[in-house]
Amino acid sequence: MKATKKIVCLTLAIVLAGLAFIMPVSASGTTPLVIVDGFNSTKLYKDFGTENQTEAFFGDDTDVETMITEVGGAFISGCIKFGLADKDYEAFSQSFIPTLNKYFEPIAYNTDGTPKDTTIGFYRTTEAIADYSEEEKAGLTSFATETAKGYGEENTYNFSYDWRADPVEVAEELNDFIGEIKVKTNSRKVNVVALSLGSAIVLAYLAENGGSDINNLVFASPAWQGTSLVGNLFSGNVELDIFAVENYLVKSADVSATTHIAAYIISFIASYEGLSHEYFGDLNANLQGVLPYVYRDSLIPLMAGMPGLWALVPDEDFEAAKDFLFPEGVDANLEAIIDKYHDIQIDAENIINDAMDDGMRFGIVLGYNRQMVPVNEEYEQSDEVIDVVNMSGGATCALYLQAYDDWGQIYNQKIKDGHNHVSWDYKIDASTCMFPEQTWFIKNMKHAAYNLQEGTLDTVLWLLNAKEQYTVFSDKENHPQFSLYNTYKRKVTPIVLEGIIGDLDDSGAVNTLDARIALKIASGQIIPTDEQLLFGDIDEDGEITTVDARCILCIAAGVPYQV
């Protein structure tokens, strides 16, 4: 009898253990989603928890018009003093920088890596977004709002954090938060989507905790490898370039009439070498004159000790940034903090692979084909804020507004893995990414501009709901490695065709015949095929026009063109 009971108990134990593996990961049948948003995504409050509590950084109590008036007035006053004093940069700085600093001092850090104001705090809740008040929902970023709508607000939780702080310490808070969500939802695992700086937080989390508590992880426009925008700023590489400014404004003009006009003016100036050299040359000379004061009186005392910003410095700029900002040596406490995350950053591939060995599924989604914020003379592929090479973990990219080799030549993929990882526009070779089969690219999408209605969020949601490890070949019809976001029609088109931009006769090269075909299509003599529409719509306005025909003729002739 005792032996029979033991056998029955053992059998029940095995059955129950088996059921634990086949049961859904949450009681509701839907895995809870944790959103880890990006820089400045959580409202920070001065005198937190007291009756004097006020939003610390450009909050409701900040009158934007007053700020613009004050800063603009200080700038003009500084310029007047600068001129009257025969280019006295110190006079300009003393007039302008204190007014500018007033709006950044509340969130400032000491150069030892500690916050200047210890009363700063923020709100965090483990309530699902569906249970937020309207005021609380209004405080979310558009990324969090759109993602929650697409995934289901009742199953989505927003992780609030101090985005200035050490990512490693924030990662410990994220671990506690995930544990609370698991208990609250009776789930074995959670899904996680990390935007921009949020990817650095999650990478630090994985380094310490592995991936056993995460079902699906998506990095969206991630800053896990930093951005040259901060790297250049922290290493002193700041220089205005008229063509970078022109590129930035022209690309931004796809959503604003104001920027379109400004872009036209800048393009006019840039078209005349004398004007560009004269005015931008003087502007750059004055910028270089005032920068030492900006660093001395503003950036170093207020921002150089902020660990959250240091997490955005790429590996190639890290040591140079230390030397530039702290020529006499970095404070030991700050250096220990920033070195710890830097070690995590450069070990990212191993950390992600170990997490996937724990059962976590992983994917990256990002935008490209936009000019980086023009603070220096660089034309790297970016989403305006982060370089594609950093977001993707090593993609090989043509410079902005260029393609590999000559337009009519076939580009040879760098790593021959048996799969095609080269974009149809010959701007991206994803074969050199850390995870080439798990990285998706959306052409023309701005940083963090994920929109449910326009389709830019589709691949993110698809990956979050995955039941297996998806790759760029899992659903080539709907989620290929490369997609095109048409900024005119506000929609995403998956690109499943392969060919050469401008090659309408499928000859393998671009020639004058392709330009003639484009003219016939533009005049209505020929109805374009899907392939011709894709490779002949150079300005990406959704149709082939005489503008496209002219561009194709330029490609055939090997001369530059503008759309």
Does residue 347 lie in a domain region?
no
Higher pLDDT, 83 or 116: 116
- At 532 the pLDDT is 86
Q: How confident is the model at residue 47 (pLDDT cuts 50, 70, 90)?
A: very high
- At 93 the pLDDT is 82
- At 2 the pLDDT is 42
Exposed, middle or buried, 213 (CB in 10 Å: 0-12/13-18/19+)?
buried
Does residue 518 lie in a domain region?
yes
The alpha carbon dihedral of 342, 344, 348, 350 has a sign of: positive
Query: Is the pLDDT reported for residue 199 higher than 80?
Result: yes
Query: Is the pLDDT reported for residue 3 higher than 70?
Result: no
Higher pLDDT, 28 or 419: 419
Average pLDDT across the chain, whole number: 86
Q: How confident is the model at residue 236 (pLDDT cuts 50, 70, 90)?
A: very high
- At 563 the pLDDT is 62
Q: What are the tens digits of pLDDT across the range 245-262? A: 878 877 777 765 666 676
Query: Is the pLDDT reported for residue 5 higher than 50?
Result: no
Q: How confident is the model at residue 107 (pLDDT cuts 50, 70, 90)?
A: very high
Nearest-Å Rg of the Cα atoms of the chain is: 26
- At 450 the pLDDT is 96
Domain count, the chain: 1
Does residue 537 lie in a domain region?
yes
Count of CA atoms in the C-beta half-sphere (13 A) of 33 = 28
* Dihedral angle, C-alpha 418, 424, 427, 429, nearest 10 °: -10
- Tell me which of 16-30, 57-71, 416-430 is least confident: 16-30
Average confidence (pLDDT) over 350-366: 98
The residues, any chain, with a CB within 8 Å of residue 199's CB and separated by 6 or more, are 36, 219, 220, 222, 223, 224
Exposed, middle or buried, 16 (CB in 10 Å: 0-12/13-18/19+)?
exposed
- At 355 the pLDDT is 98
Q: How confident is the model at residue 561 (pLDDT cuts 50, 70, 90)?
A: low
- At 276 the pLDDT is 62
Residue 36: Cβ within 10 Å count: 29
Does residue 546 lie in a domain region?
yes
- At 9 the pLDDT is 42
Q: What is the spatial distance between Cα 485 and Cα 137, in angstroms, rounded to a whole number? A: 27
Q: What are the tens digits of pLDDT across the range 492-542? A: 888 877 777 888 888 877 888 988 999 999 989 989 887 888 888 887 777
Give the percent of the chain with pLDDT over 70.
85
Q: Which domain holds residue 522?
A: 512-557
- At 59 the pLDDT is 57
Q: What are the tens digits of pLDDT across the range 74-102? A: 777 777 777 666 777 888 888 888 888 88
- At 560 the pLDDT is 66
- The answer to whether residues 211 and 356 touch, using CB atoms and an 8 Å cutoff, is yes
Query: Is the pLDDT reported for residue 130 higher than 90?
Result: yes
Does residue 542 lie in a domain region?
yes
Does residue 533 lie in a domain region?
yes
Q: What are the tens digits of pLDDT across the range 269-316? A: 666 655 666 677 777 888 888 889 899 999 999 999 999 999 999 999
* Strand 190-195 to 33-36 pairing: parallel
Specify the amino acid at residue 242.
I
Does residue 152 lie in a domain region?
no
Average confidence (pLDDT) over 183-197: 97
Does residue 553 lie in a domain region?
yes
